[in-house]
Structure 1
Amino acid sequence: MRHIILVTGAGKGIGKAIAVEFARYSERNPSFEPVLVLASRTSGDLETAAAECRKYGAETDCITTDIAEAANAVRLAETVIERYGTVDCLVNNAGVGRFKPFTELTEEDFDYTVATNLKGTFFLTQKLFPVMEQQRKGHIFFVTSIAAEKAFKTSSIYSMTKFAQKGLLEALRLYARECNVRITNVMPGAVYTPMWGEVPEEMQSMMMMPEDIASAVSGAYFLPERTSVEELVIRPVGGDINE
């Protein structure tokens, strides 16, 4: 069966790992035929991710865009609907952060983080949800963070946006329950991704990998449609970093 799956922030990190995990699943299960629509700001990263997905025989479609602009988020949704007529799964993974002491954060840091994490996520989801609502099926994942429930000293703005994402998905779930659409909040702890920058080897050994999150997401997606995993809290076995 064909599944139209849109993954934002798909060029690297968790987003790329989720796309590849869906592709790998399709190789093992020929009845699952995904069309992986990969969206990101960097075309080179997207092509690399798409090439890896294609190794497993999955169809891919790369769209270079920056959803920090609301118009781009809306255009991305419209493009998916124009090309495929539907969407079965939306993975809201695109996210950014600036990590500094509270008093050192600037208005530019604020605008940069809020634009992607809140504005882009909101308007993309707002445009695609009615499609799922009408077809009475679909699955929306929000890759938030444990920072959506727990604050860290250097993540004031980032945590603010993740708390807000959690508020959005909880409100959306009230609508989704009326039309059989599944909403899953994915809250990872420390995952070794480019967002962390330079990480000492000792710290890397304590962190999770993007593939760990991807396997949990695919597991939730492939449960029977009557079943909804509402939250996935995934932490390193040793607990939070810089707790």
Structure 2
Amino acid sequence: MKQIIIITGAGKGIGKAIALEFAQATVKHEGFEPVLILASRTISDLESVASECRSFEAAADIFPVDIADPAQIEHLVSTTLERYGTIDCLINNAGVGRFKPFTELTEEDFDYTIATNLKGTFFLTQRVFALMEKKRSGHIFFITSIAAETAFKSSSIYCMSKFGQKGLVEAIRLYAKTCNVRITNVMPGAVYTPMWGEVPDAMKSVMMRPEDISAPVVNAYFMPQRTSVEELVLRPVCGDINE
């Protein structure tokens, strides 16, 4: 059975790992036919991920999209509907951050982070949830962060945006539980992704990897429809990394 799955931030890191995990699930789950709608800002990254997904015989469609732009959100959703008629799953993974001491953060840092993490996530989810509410089925994941509950000194705006995402999750869940839509909040700790930039080897050795997050996400998707995994919290064994 075909499942139309939108993954934002699909070109790198956790988003890429989730796409590949869904692609490989075609072997593990008989009859599962994912159509992976891969969205990200960099088309070369998307082309590479799509090629890997197709090697597992999963269908993949690419959309170079910046979700901070409402017009691009509308293009992503409307084109997906034109091509496939529905949306079964949304993985809200796209996220950005600027990491500096509180007194050094600028208005540009604020606008850059909030435009994607809050504005973009809100309006993409609003558009997709309306479709799922109408058909009374679907699953929306939010890849937030432990920074949605725990503050870090160098992450003032990022924490603010992630706390905000968690508030959105809780509000949407009030609607979702009345129309059979599943909502899952995924809160990873430190995962070694390009967002971290250069990382010392000692730190890298204790950080999680994107595939550590993607497997639980896809497993949550395959839970029986009567069951919703509401939260997934994943941390390195050593605990939080305060960088």
Give me the TM-score of the superposition, normalised by structure 1.
0.98
Percent sequence identity over matched residues? Answer: 70
Alpha carbons 1:69, 1:120 under 8 Å: kept: yes
Secondary structure of the residue that 1:45 maps to in structure 2?
helix
Amino acid in the other structure paired with 1:9: G
Which whole-Å CA distance do the structure 2 matches of 1:73 and 1:152 have between them?
Answer: 30
Partner of 2:166 in structure 1? 166
Partner of 1:120 in structure 2? 120
CA RMSD after TM alignment: 0.9
Partner of 1:56 in structure 2? 56
Alpha carbons 1:4, 1:36 under 8 Å: kept: yes
Partner of 2:106 in structure 1? 106
Amino acid in the other structure paired with 2:86: T
Alpha carbons 1:146, 1:233 under 8 Å: kept: yes
Amino acid in the other structure paired with 2:4: I
What are structure 2's unaligned runs of at least 5 residues? none
Tell me the number of residue pairs that the alignment of Structure 1 and Structure 2 aligns.
Answer: 243
Within 5 Å, which residues of 2 pair with 1:132-151? Answer: 132-151=132-151
Q: CA deviation at 1:76?
A: 1.3
CA deviation vs aligned residue, 1:141-177 (integer Å, no higher than 9, x gap): 0000000000000000000000000011110000000
What are structure 1's unaligned runs of at least 5 residues? none
**Does 1:66 find its partner at 2:66?**
yes
Secondary structure of the residue that 2:6 maps to in structure 1?
strand
Which whole-Å CA distance do the structure 2 matches of 1:102 and 1:134 have between them?
Answer: 43
Q: CA deviation at 1:55?
A: 1.1
Alpha carbons 1:98, 1:113 under 8 Å: kept: yes
Query: Which segments of structure 1 move beyond 2 Å, counting only runs of 4 or more?
Result: 27-30
Q: CA deviation at 1:200?
A: 1.0
Partner of 1:39 in structure 2? 39
Which whole-Å CA distance do the structure 2 matches of 1:187 and 1:114 have between them?
Answer: 18
Within 5 Å, which residues of 2 pair with 1:195-210? Answer: 195-210=195-210
Which whole-Å CA distance do the structure 1 matches of 2:213 and 2:28 have between them?
Answer: 19
Partner of 1:4 in structure 2? 4
Amino acid in the other structure paired with 2:24: R
Alpha carbons 1:27, 1:57 under 8 Å: kept: no
Secondary structure of the residue that 1:206 maps to in structure 2?
coil
Which whole-Å CA distance do the structure 1 matches of 2:222 and 2:92 have between them?
Answer: 18
Partner of 2:178 in structure 1? 178
Alpha carbons 1:35, 1:60 under 8 Å: kept: yes
Alpha carbons 1:98, 1:158 under 8 Å: kept: yes
Amino acid in the other structure paired with 1:40: S
Q: CA deviation at 1:74?
A: 2.3
Q: CA deviation at 1:79?
A: 1.6
Amino acid in the other structure paired with 1:29: H
Which whole-Å CA distance do the structure 2 matches of 1:173 and 1:74 have between them?
Answer: 23
Amino acid in the other structure paired with 1:195: M
Give me the TM-score of the superposition, normalised by structure 2.
0.98
CA deviation vs aligned residue, 1:96-154 (integer Å, no higher than 9, x gap): 00000000000000000000001111111111111111111100000000000000000
Which whole-Å CA distance do the structure 1 matches of 2:174 and 2:28 have between them?
Answer: 35
Partner of 1:152 in structure 2? 152
Which whole-Å CA distance do the structure 1 matches of 2:169 and 2:71 have between them?
Answer: 21
Alpha carbons 1:77, 1:128 under 8 Å: kept: yes
Q: CA deviation at 1:82?
A: 1.6
Amino acid in the other structure paired with 1:75: H
**Does 1:188 find its partner at 2:188?**
yes
Alpha carbons 1:74, 1:123 under 8 Å: kept: no
Secondary structure of the residue that 1:225 maps to in structure 2?
coil
